Chains A and B, each alone.
Chain A
Amino acid sequence: MHTIAYFDSSHDMPEEVITAAGFSPMKIMGDVHASNDPADQYLQKFFCPAARSFLTQALAQSHQWAGIIVAHGCDATNRHYDVWKLHVKTPFLYWFNSPIRNDAVAKRFYIEELKRLIAALQRHYGISISNDSLKNSIAQSNDIKRRLRKLATLRSEKDISNREYFTLVSACMTKPKEECISLLQQAKSDWESRPEFPSHKKRFYLTGSDITYAEWMDLLDECGIRVVRDDLSIGERYFANGFPELEDPLEAIAEYYLTIPRPATKISLDGRIDFIVQSLKQTHIDGVLSQNLKFCEPYAYDAVTVNNELRSHGYKVLHLEREFSPAFDQQVMNRIAAFTEML
């Protein structure tokens, strides 16, 4: 029972506090292969299917976890917490209220929230979380993020499948951190020796709802698309920045989480667009694939403005609404094929 699982609709959960407490943080990703019937007893079918899958996973696996933390994000995290509290059996269920703003007022609040989280962990597990252990965790996170950043740039240079990239990034959020570092080391020697970027593939930017299962990344490869840049939370948002080196670890954690590229669940839309435009200037891409998972409101709201803005910058953008399913959706594939032919 060394795992503390967390439900996080973007990248808001300060994993560093969990590692400093001596636990292994694990982002709940759901299982696209499992039926959502267990969660559907409590959540209607017109709620985000990924969030329903997270609940299904928690109902089945919570006995293996030391506790669960839910981080404020979209309406799913914010409202389903109460449902989890009623039905998921766990010795420790905690609500972490990360702010949607990221100014000085929000930073003060964020630090208070961090203190509340640390106090709750200390109280519940009878442990002490020192500044030194927080600093060590931050250093470890910085190491992981630095390695991921380097590896991610190889996507546009070498033959690295979408699945491989997704699997590596998601492993960094679900496996013990020491294991992540060894996976990253292996990936480095493997990826660097790969053949050049395949000439028949198109380089794409991927934006929108988080992809939580590899099959959807396979579908893109199948359509001749390689994701070479993205702004997903299970993606570049996780490693785009490092933690600043500050004396106070709580300051450093707050600074990091409030300055990483903005997701659709946080203010502001302009910040999101700026990050995407900046990335598109850095890397040559053939097209932008914007998608939202069915019933994922934050990204469905943003998509129209974001995509129009990108089009106004001259980028070719395709937007799709996707189902939560491991099966290849022929309709989606046809639309992607029509779009890539046009490029």
Chain B
Amino acid sequence: MTQNTANKTQIRINTLPHAKDLKDPMMYYFLRSIIYPKLPWKKTAWTGAGFPIELLWAYDVFPLHPENMATVAAARKQSQRLIEHAEGMGYSRDLCSYCKTNFGAVDTRIKTSLGGIAKPDFIAITNTICDTHWKWFQIQARHFKVPAYVFDCPSYVSGTSDETLEGYIDYLVEQFFDFSVFMEKHFGKKLTEKKMRRVLEKSDRLCELWQEIYELRKAIPAPYSSAETSASFFPLVILCGVDVGIKFFEKILADLKARVARGEGTLTSGREKYRLLFEGIPFWYKMKFMYELAAYEAVVVYEPYTYSFGPRKPLNLSLDETLRHVARMMLDVPYSYNLEKRIEYFKRCVADYKIDGVILHENMSCRPSSSGMMDLKEAIQRDCGIPVLILQCDMNDPRAYAEGPIKTRIEGFIELMEANRKSN
């Protein structure tokens, strides 16, 4: 550790008073994810990021989330052995570690509390973010002998015209109707406008709160860091159709408002030196990484990853208009923005959140999110005049985390931000 940080090791993240209440939505989800698959009248589906989870709630289907359970396995220090198990089954070291954690979890029948997941009634996924999602789910649907529905999202590449985008939306909307045939055929379930509206209202309320939380993160010093948001965004991932997440977010928001009113930040020192943007999925097996940044008086105040899960939903639209909107959101989320949009989006975030430096997680598991990263780095450095650190690692495979070199790179990055500040 450099001299610069040695005397600051006492600086820590001051967690919010209601942070512990995350256990409420967690318990809500975990209990149901254990019980529902055992009830013959209750339908469950595996799904993943990028899928409009509200659709499942509107069909009264309980979403089971293998990616989320993979993060649980990592947090419970199980992911490495599950990944290695999957590699023993023949899956390449180079494949996504979420997927391999899930293959290992299913094959070893690990408990839910350690990252296990029950067999679903069906599988619903998209290709909007990556190939992995649908390749992985297709394999598991075959394994479980359950039906699968894959929404085919055209890639919204840089330079796509508005007219072409509308054509892509038409295609997705047709698939919503096709999906309704699938749901009726397999489960006798129908989508009603009333149910969809109710779910969207709850989902929008959750997202509204999340966006308010993000607004408060603009405060200096920042009241809330990714050390906490990486866990607390959980209700957005799965619990969009129910109240339990809303109640939790309301408490968090109240804590944040009080903290900002007092002029306090999330660091125990009461001030912050470096405001960071972290791009990518956190290292779930090593969440201490986010906490340890505090020792450098650095706070991650913005993550496109957690922000992506909370887009507002327009209400009072007809079912057709709603489906068009949902389709648009599937093609166009910050986490999978095309490069041109991604660069513009990052520049806006850097300005809005007064960012001093950006950490880009070059994720060995996730080639899609790492594509264009060199250009993104170059554009931020050039246009925003701040340092960017590309950190190569993996979100679920602890074998990729090299403690010493990562620490050295973080310290070098802190020095760069310091030098940059002095020269400005």
Stretch at the interface among A168-176, A234-242, A301-309: A301-309
A86-B339 Cα distance, complex, nearest whole Å = 9
| Complex interface: chain A residues within 8 A of B362 (CB) | 44
Cβ A85 vs Cβ B159 within 8 A? yes
Closest to B373 in A: A44
* Selected contact of B364 from candidates A46, A80, A307, CB within 8 Å: A46
A95-B224 Cα distance, complex, nearest whole Å = 41
| B254 CB within 8 Å of chain A | no
Q: How close is B244's CB to chain A, nearest CB, in angstroms?
A: 35
Q: How close is A136's CB to chain B, nearest CB, in angstroms?
A: 28
Q: Mark each residue of chain B from 126 to 160: 1 if its CB lies under 8 Å from any CB of chain A, else 0.
A: 01001110111011001000000010101101111
| Complex interface: chain B residues within 8 A of A41 (CB) | 374
| Complex interface: chain A residues within 8 A of B152 (CB) | 99-101, 106, 267
A84-B170 Cα distance, complex, nearest whole Å = 27
| A89 CB within 8 Å of chain B | no
| Complex interface: chain B residues within 8 A of A72 (CB) | 154-155
B residues at A contact (CB < 8 Å): 89-92, 94-96, 99, 127, 130-132, 134-136, 138-139, 142, 150, 152, 154-155, 157-160, 164, 167-168, 170-171, 174-175, 178, 338-340, 362, 364, 367-368, 370-375
Interface residues of A in 59-104 (CB under 8 A from B): 72, 74-76, 78-83, 85-86, 95, 97, 99-101, 103
A319-B90 Cα distance, complex, nearest whole Å = 9
Cβ A301 vs Cβ B136 within 8 A? yes
Closest to B178 in A: A105
Residue with the highest number of chain B CB atoms closer than 10 Å, among A74, A85, A265, A303: A85
Cβ B171 vs Cβ A109 within 8 A? yes
Please give the number of chain A residues whose Cβ is less than 8 angstroms from any Cβ of chain B in the complex: 51
Cβ B132 vs Cβ A297 within 8 A? yes
A44-B338 Cα distance, complex, nearest whole Å = 17
Residue with the highest number of chain B CB atoms closer than 10 Å, among A75, A76, A99: A75
* Selected contact of A46 from candidates B164, B168, B367, B374, CB within 8 Å: B367
Q: How close is B235's CB to chain A, nearest CB, in angstroms?
A: 29
A42-B377 Cα distance, complex, nearest whole Å = 11
Interface residues of A in 290-319 (CB under 8 A from B): 292, 294-295, 297-298, 300-305, 307, 319
A112-B163 Cα distance, complex, nearest whole Å = 12
Q: A85-B158, A304-B89, A319-B90 are in contact. Are A100 and B367 (CB under 8 A)?
A: no
Cβ A300 vs Cβ B94 within 8 A? yes
Closest to B138 in A: A269
Cβ A75 vs Cβ B131 within 8 A? yes
A83-B373 Cα distance, complex, nearest whole Å = 10
Residue with the highest number of chain A CB atoms closer than 10 Å, among B139, B164, B171: B171
Closest to A273 in B: B142
| A116 CB within 8 Å of chain B | yes
Q: How close is A152's CB to chain B, nearest CB, in angstroms?
A: 28
* 10 additional A-B residue pairs with CB within 8 Å, beyond A75-B367, A100-B134, A300-B91: A47-B367, A75-B132, A86-B158, A97-B155, A99-B171, A267-B150, A268-B138, A301-B131, A301-B132, A304-B89
Main secondary structure of the interface of A (DSSP, over half): helix
Q: How close is A50's CB to chain B, nearest CB, in angstroms?
A: 13
Q: A301-B135, A305-B139 are in contact. Are A116 and B371 (CB under 8 A)?
A: no
Q: A43-B371, A75-B130, A112-B167 are in contact. Are A82 and B339 (CB under 8 A)?
A: yes
Q: How close is B348's CB to chain A, nearest CB, in angstroms?
A: 18
Cβ A78 vs Cβ B155 within 8 A? yes
Cβ B138 vs Cβ A86 within 8 A? no
| A247 CB within 8 Å of chain B | no
| A321 CB within 8 Å of chain B | yes
Q: Which 4 A-B pairs have the closest CB atoms?
A: A82-B339, A79-B371, A301-B135, A304-B90
Q: Mark each residue of chain A from 5 to 34: 1 if its CB lies under 8 Å from any CB of chain B, else 0.
A: 000000000000000000000000000000
Cβ A83 vs Cβ B372 within 8 A? yes
Cβ A83 vs Cβ B371 within 8 A? yes
A11-B236 Cα distance, complex, nearest whole Å = 39
| A335 CB within 8 Å of chain B | no
* Selected contact of B375 from candidates A83, A294, A297, A304, CB within 8 Å: A83
A46-B412 Cα distance, complex, nearest whole Å = 24
* Selected contact of A116 from candidates B135, B167, B364, B375, CB within 8 Å: B167
| A194 CB within 8 Å of chain B | no
| Complex interface: chain B residues within 8 A of A302 (CB) | 135
| A150 CB within 8 Å of chain B | no
Q: List 29 A-B contacts (CB under 8 A).
A: A41-B374, A44-B362, A44-B373, A47-B371, A75-B367, A76-B367, A79-B367, A79-B368, A82-B339, A82-B340, A86-B339, A95-B157, A95-B160, A99-B152, A108-B171, A112-B167, A116-B164, A116-B167, A265-B131, A270-B142, A297-B131, A300-B91, A301-B91, A301-B132, A302-B135, A303-B90, A304-B91, A305-B139, A307-B90
Residue with the highest number of chain B CB atoms closer than 10 Å, among A82, A95, A112, A269: A82
* Selected contact of B138 from candidates A46, A267, A295, A304, CB within 8 Å: A267
Cβ A81 vs Cβ B157 within 8 A? yes
| Complex interface: chain A residues within 8 A of B171 (CB) | 99, 105, 108-109, 112
